[in-house]
Amino acid sequence: MGTTLVAYASLLLVLSCTATAQIAFKAWHLSGRHGTLALAILLFVCIPPVTILTARELGIGKVYVLMSLSYALVAFMGWKRFGEPVSRRQVQGLALITLGCLIYTL
């Protein structure tokens, strides 16, 4: 039970790092600040090893299905950070992705 909890915590870390890396990359594109580019690259380099370790515990199928939750996280972070519009269709699509992930994990 303890290792499974750690694996889910690792998955949450991977999800948040993936979304943060994508937001940092966009922030670099808009601002040209090298610090945000360095952050994006560092996160993109660190994500695969943690994902592999997480997949060893939870299984590759579960990890990669749950990684689709990053779409929702990136949309939310883009809305909060950059004021990007989120349409009704996008919210519906993200809700379907989330529902599919929940159903898959049950």
* Residues 6 or more apart in contact with residue 10 via CB below 8 angstroms: 50, 53, 54, 57
The reported pLDDT for the residue numbered 1 is 65
The pLDDT of 61-80, averaged and rounded, is: 93
Q: Band of the pLDDT at 4, cuts 50, 70, 90?
A: confident
2 pLDDT more than 80: no
The reported pLDDT for the residue numbered 82 is 95
Q: Band of the pLDDT at 3, cuts 50, 70, 90?
A: confident
Burial zone of 23 (CB within 10 Å; 0-12 exposed, 13-18 middle, 19+ buried): buried
Tell me what percent of the residues of the chain surpass a pLDDT of 90: 91
Decide: 75 and 94 in contact? Cβ < 8 Å: yes
